[in-house]
């Protein structure tokens, strides 16, 4: 089966998201789709899956023109997509989620749960998608939820599977599992389109690579012959410095210190036990660890979003334990949250409103009673310019921004106000290489200017590139403190709890 | 033309589009009226009657100065109460309790109205403020319960409505309040200084439209300003749209919920007080007349936007006034109006339905 897009164009008001794009993919092939934030990748895939209608252009399947008016039309033609934000019902079981909207019916018009369950098992064994059909989705780790999404579209007999930044939220181990799944799918004759910002990943698993820039298809690359830097240049249109420079600098006095910090997790168990650490001025302290080992709880405790059960935190030698998020923010502690959609932004609000989301009460934007939208608007324009947030105007809602541009908006907001300490969680998740370069350089220059930075990232490379010192979280404890030139293998072992 | 562009810009502040709060209500109402009349035909009424009913609906609501006066008189308490419900919606709260808040606010107002002797302006101000304060206080209970115990506001406001109904009957029989020489639950009448002045006495002293309508328009402007241009309004909208992000941004969500609920009650209390002061002059056991429930529909129809509320409040007022005329001249039961109101709510709750019936009004997506 061959799926082709011919001369596809799509605009949102003044923004040309896709301009005359041609693309094709066939069975048994993995096509990589690269491009800067806002280049139009997601838009193009939304057109292919019937979520949007193109302004012009054609979709051809086996050389026949097809028109998709909604995702159902696309799935009928064998095209399915795993979105970056999963679309599962958390309180339903795996097999219930899989059949939702496509339920097998018994002869008395009841949902045939038994058949559903068997179907799920059949698919999962055929493609090596290990998952328990009876488990509730909310209890599953992200990597397994992703498998459920895959089973869901396979159940609808998809021949083309589209993955929009599937690896952004996965742990390194889960990424390996995911690659195995992709090669199984490929072997059984499925066509696959894979979107990512991680260049080594496309080189590793794709057969062909297409690159978009500002809505246009700017080139193809052969994964066997290309390199990271060539791909980066093709994407951004200039050469990108993929190696972050971190000049030596002497750290200053202690900025933040925690003593025997204990915090409960959501399951009312001890989420963190006895966390002791010091963070200095002019220092980047990296937190390495597989997601779910207490990093989130720790950061929530520091930012006032989670109650501290015992122990203490001090900041500039002053104790602060269980202060409100507002008070902590006012002390110059800024927080880039790990989930921009759930926490960092309000999707329905405009860029302007999001830029002042946690500073609206400050003198610059209000007189304590009424808001000054004009100064908020100029602040938005400034952040957008400085952090290259691409949008048609400041008044559009945040959910009309591409994923990476949303992330840049959050970073720009937090890094452009008065700041002593920056707590950054997954700061470059979903961000393109050019912007990673810029964000990293901003973090480094903040550190050079005397700011202390706590960096939490599941990207080990990012931790190693930026951190002056690394601590490793495992099962709610700090199991190792390492210098930044430690062998990545040793860090990896510590992340798995192996320390000698 | 120019003007409409300006209005569109004003709406873009919160991206509730002009079509959302202008066309959808109009279309929903037209559809509902058409279906209502169809229903009338199905019950065996003649075309003649249906046509008379339709004409009466319009004549009775907008056809003359007195019709217009009736429409706006009926719209006034609806606008007040619906503004409160809109504030609640913005903060993610579903306030079913406007009816109870109207009762409590109106009862407090009527007591001030007959028991205190003050010059006109002072008396009116005191009476309306006390009514507003009592409405706010009554809603505060639900807000507090929600914020600090997690009790759902839908449940608590329903309970408080029931309590308000009984409380009203109880209070209206207290010797201090009950009208002298009466056995039924009815209060003393408010003093002349506690009556909101009628606006069109120069044309005809019987025209009931009163200064409360002007206050309602003022309230629309004020609530618009609060929701979209103040820090507290921003906090309401944050808490109502994404609680997680609001907490991250340092908003005290419990306090915000209590404030939003109290503000909602304040508006409903004003509805009660202005109804007593401007129209009724005294409280009886059914004086709230379901205004608090109709106001939920008004707020929904107005998309929780103050200007939308003004607009749909007037439309609902028109249905009330026109409905009376319809009953008189076409002999059609007022129940038809209730049916039409219910249909309106269905169409509003399903804007996609309206959009697909009138696709040419709305641009393609
Ligand atoms: N619904 C929409 N309304 C208005 N503009 C939109 C909408 N969806 C996307 N856009 C704009 O279209 C452009 C392309 O966005 P798209 O989401 O396709 O980018 P992307 O390549 O997926 O980027 P990222 O890597 O950041 O996810 C962006 O400028 C975005 O702001
Ligand atoms: Mg995208």
pLDDT digits (tens, 9 = 90+) for A238-261: 888 878 788 888 898 999 999 999
How far away, in angstroms, is A410 Cα from ligand 1 center? 16
Query: Considering the domain boundaries, does residue B52 fall inside one?
Result: no
Contact A162, A49 (CB under 8 A): yes
- Give the model confidence (pLDDT) of B70-129 as tens digits: 999 999 999 999 999 999 999 999 999 999 999 999 999 999 999 999 999 999 999 999
pTM for this prediction: 0.88
* DSSP labels, A311-340: EEEEETTEE-SS--HHHHHHTTEEEE-S-I
Ligand 1: residue whose CA is nearest its atom 19: A38
Per-residue pLDDT, A174: 84
Secondary structure of A358-405 in HEC code, one letter for each residue: CCCCCCCCECCCEECHHHHHHHHHHHHHHCCCCCCCCCCEHHHCCHHH
Instruction: Please tell me whether residues B349 and B262 are part of one structural domain.
Output: no
Ligand number, closest to the Cα atom of A17: 1
* Residue B27 shares a structural domain with residue B94: no
Chain A nearest C-alpha distance from B92 (Å): 14
Which residue in chain A has the smallest CA separation from B242?
Answer: A346
Q: State the CATH number of the domain containing residue B131.
A: 1.10.3470
| Pair (B324, B341) in one structural domain | no
User: Residues A295-319, buried b or exposed e (16+ Cβ, 10 A)?
Assistant: bbbbbbbbbbbbebeebebbbeeee
Q: B326 with B186, same domain?
A: yes
Nearest CA in chain B to A55: B365
Same domain, residue pair B178 and B110? yes
Q: Are A346 and A353 in contact (CB under 8 A)?
A: yes
User: Do A2-236 and A254-495 come out as alike in CATH topology?
Assistant: yes
Per residue of chain B (365 residues), what is the pLDDT tens digit?
334 434 443 343 445 566 666 777 778 888 888 888 888 888 888 888 888 888 998 999 999 999 999 999 999 999 999 999 999 999 999 999 999 999 999 999 999 999 999 999 999 999 999 999 999 999 999 999 999 999 999 999 999 999 999 999 999 999 999 999 888 999 999 999 999 999 998 999 999 999 999 999 999 999 999 999 999 999 999 999 999 999 999 999 999 999 999 999 999 999 999 999 999 999 999 999 999 999 999 998 888 999 999 989 999 999 999 988 988 888 888 888 888 878 887 877 676 666 677 666 654 43
In chain A, the residue whose alpha carbon lies closest to the alpha carbon of B364 is A53
**Residues, CB within 5 angstroms of ligand 2 (ion):** A 42, 402-403
Parse chain A into domains and list their residue ranges: 2-236, 254-495
* H/E segment holding residue A59: strand A56-61
Q: Which residues of A touch B231 (CB under 8 A)?
A: 360-361, 366, 368-371
Calculate mean pLDDT across residues A444-449: 93
Please judge whether B252 and A342 are an interchain contact, meaning their C-beta atoms are less than 8 angstroms apart.
Answer: no
Nearest residue, CB atoms, B245 vs list A324, A335, A345? A345
The answer to the question of residue B259 being in a domain is yes
- Does residue B245 sit in the same domain as residue B274? yes
Atom of ligand 1 nearest to the CA of A215: 14
Fold of A254-495: Rossmann fold (3.40.50)
Asked whether residue B77 falls in the same domain as residue B151, the answer is yes
Number of structural domains in chain B = 2
CA angle A152, A155, A160 (to 5 degrees): 85
User: Same domain for B338 and B210?
Assistant: no
For residue B359, being part of any structural domain is answered with: yes
Give domain A2-236's CATH number out of 3.40.50.150, 3.10.180.10, 3.50.50.100, 3.40.50.300: 3.40.50.300
Q: Does residue B2 sit within a domain?
A: no
Which chain B residues touch A361 with a CB distance below 8 Å?
231
Calculate how far, in angstroms, residue B148's C-alpha sits from the geometric centre of ligand 2: 40
- Contact criterion met (CB < 8 Å) for A346 and B230: no
CA distance A328 to A330: 5
More confident residue, A162 or A109: A162
Do B81 and B25 belong together in one domain?
no
What's the gap in Å between A347 CA and the centre of ligand 2? 15
Asked if B223 and B290 sit in the same domain, the reply is yes
Smallest Cα distance from B112 to chain A, Å: 31
Q: Give the range of the structural domain holding residue B37, as residue numbers without chain letter.
A: 16-45+333-365
Q: Tell me whether residue B5 is in a domain.
A: no
pLDDT of residue A375: 94
What value of ipTM does the predicted structure carry?
Answer: 0.87
Question: B291 and B338, same structural domain?
Answer: no
How large is the average pLDDT for residues A293-313? 91
Report residues whose beta carbon is within 6 angstroms of any ligand 1 atom. A 12, 15, 17, 35, 37-43, 390-391, 400-405
Find, among A240, B8, A334, B237, the residue nearest to B245 by Cα.
Answer: B237
State whether B84 and B219 are in the same domain: yes
Identify whether B106 is part of a domain: yes
Report the mean per-residue pLDDT for chain A. Answer: 90
Separation CA B186–CA A151 (nearest Å): 68
CA of B179 to the centre of ligand 2 (A): 70
């Amino acid at each position: 089966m061959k799926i082709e897009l011919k001369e596809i164009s799509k605009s949102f008001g003044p923004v040309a998201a896709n301009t005359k794009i041609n693309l094709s993919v066939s069975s048994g092939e993995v096509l990589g789709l690269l491009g800067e934030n806002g280049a139009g990748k997601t838009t193009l895939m939304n057109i292919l899956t019937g979520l949007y209608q193109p302004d012009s252009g054609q979709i051809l399947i086996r050389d026949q023109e097809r028109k998709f008016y909604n995702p159902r039309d696309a799935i009928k033609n064998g095209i399915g997509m795993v979105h970056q934000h999963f679309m599962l019902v958390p309180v339903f079981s795996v097999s219930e989620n899989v059949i939702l909207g496509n339920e097998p019916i018994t002869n008395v018009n009841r949902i045939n749960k038994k058949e559903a369950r068997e179907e799920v098992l059949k698919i999962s064994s055929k493609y090596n998608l290990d998952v328990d059909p009876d488990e509730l989705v909310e209890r599953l780790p992200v990597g397994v939820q992703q498998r459920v999404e895959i089973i869901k579209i396979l159940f609808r007999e998809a021949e083309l599977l589209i993955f929009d930044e599937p690896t952004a939220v996965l742990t390194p181990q889960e990424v390996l599992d995911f690659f195995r799944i992709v090669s199984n799918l490929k072997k059984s004759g499925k066509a696959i389109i894979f979107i990512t910002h991680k260049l080594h990943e496309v080189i590793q698993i794709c057969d062909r690579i297409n690159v978009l820039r500002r809505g246009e298809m700017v080139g193809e690359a052969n994964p066997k012959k290309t390199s990271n830097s060539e791909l980066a240049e093709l994407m951004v249109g200039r050469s990108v410095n993929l190696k972050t420079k971190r000049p030596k600098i002497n750290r200053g006095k202690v900025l933040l210190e925690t003593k025997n910090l204990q915090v409960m997790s959501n399951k009312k168990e001890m989420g963190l036990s006895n966390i002791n650490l010091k963070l200095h001025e002019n220092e980047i302290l990296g937190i390495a660890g597989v997601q779910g080992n207490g990093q989130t709880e720790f950061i929530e405790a520091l930012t006032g979003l989670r109650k501290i059960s015992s122990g203490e935190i001090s900041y500039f030698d002053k104790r602060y334990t269980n202060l409100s998020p507002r008070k902590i923010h006012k002390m110059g502690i800024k927080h880039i949250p790990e989930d921009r959609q759930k926490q960092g932004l309000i999707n329905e609000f405009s860029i302007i409103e999001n830029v002042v989301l946690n500073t609206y009460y400050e003198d610059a934007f209000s007189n304590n009673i009424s808001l000054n939208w004009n100064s908020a608007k100029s602040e938005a324009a400034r952040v957008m310019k400085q952090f290259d947030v691409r949008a048609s105007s400041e008044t559009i809602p945040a959910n009309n921004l591409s994923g990476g541009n949303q992330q840049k908006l959050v970073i720009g907001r937090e890094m452009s106000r008065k700041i002593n300490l920056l707590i950054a969680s997954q700061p470059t998740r979903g961000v393109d290489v050019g912007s990673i370069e810029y964000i990293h350089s901003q973090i480094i220059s903040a550190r050079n200017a005397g700011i202390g930075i706590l960096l939490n990232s599941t990207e080990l490379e990012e931790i190693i590139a930026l951190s002056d010192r690394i601590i490793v979280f495992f099962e709610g404890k700090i199991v190792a403190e390492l210098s930044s030139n430690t062998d990545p293998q040793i860090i990896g072992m510590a992340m798995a709890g192996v320390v000698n | 033309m120019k003007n409409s562009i300006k209005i569109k810009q004003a709406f873009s502040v919160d991206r509730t589009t002009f079509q959302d709060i202008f066309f959808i209500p109009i279309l929903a109402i037209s559809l509902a009226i058409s279906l209502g009349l169809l229903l009338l035909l199905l019950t065996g009424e003649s075309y003649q009657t249906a046509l008379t009913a339709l004409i009466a609906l319009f004549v009775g609501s907008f056809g003359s100065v007195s019709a217009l006066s009736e429409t706006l008189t009926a719209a006034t308490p609806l606008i007040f109460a619906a503004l409160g419900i809109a504030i609640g919606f913005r903060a993610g709260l579903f306030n079913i309790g406007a009816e109870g808040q109207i009762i409590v606010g109106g009862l407090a107002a009527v007591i001030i109205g007959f028991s205190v002797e003050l010059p006109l302006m002072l008396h009116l101000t005191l009476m309306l403020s006390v009514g507003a304060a009592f409405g706010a206080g009554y809603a505060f209970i639900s807000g507090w319960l929600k914020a600090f115990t997690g009790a759902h506001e839908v449940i608590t406001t329903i309970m408080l409505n029931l309590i308000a109904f009984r409380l009203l009957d109880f209070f209206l029989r207290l010797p201090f309040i009950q009208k002298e020489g009466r056995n039924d639950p009815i209060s003393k009448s408010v003093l002349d200084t506690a009556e909101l002045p009628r606006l069109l006495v120069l044309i005809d002293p019987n025209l009931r439209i009163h200064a409360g309508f002007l206050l309602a328009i003022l309230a629309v402007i004020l609530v618009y300003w609060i929701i979209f241009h103040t820090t507290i309004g921003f906090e309401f909208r944050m808490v109502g749209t994404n609680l997680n992000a609001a907490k991250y941004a340092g908003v005290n969500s419990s306090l915000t919920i209590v404030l939003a609920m109290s503000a909602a009650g304040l508006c409903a209390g004003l509805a009660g007080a202005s109804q007593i002061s401007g129209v009724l002059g005294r409280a009886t056991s059914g004086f709230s007349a379901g205004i608090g429930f109709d106001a939920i529909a008004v707020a929904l129809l107005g998309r929780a936007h103050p200007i939308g509320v003004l607009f749909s409040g007037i439309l609902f007022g028109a249905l009330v006034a026109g409905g009376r005329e319809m009953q008189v001249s076409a002999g059609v039961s007022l129940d038809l109006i209730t049916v039409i109101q219910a249909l309106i709510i269905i169409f509003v709750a399903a804007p996609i339905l309206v959009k697909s019936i009138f696709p040419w009004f709305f641009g393609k997506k």
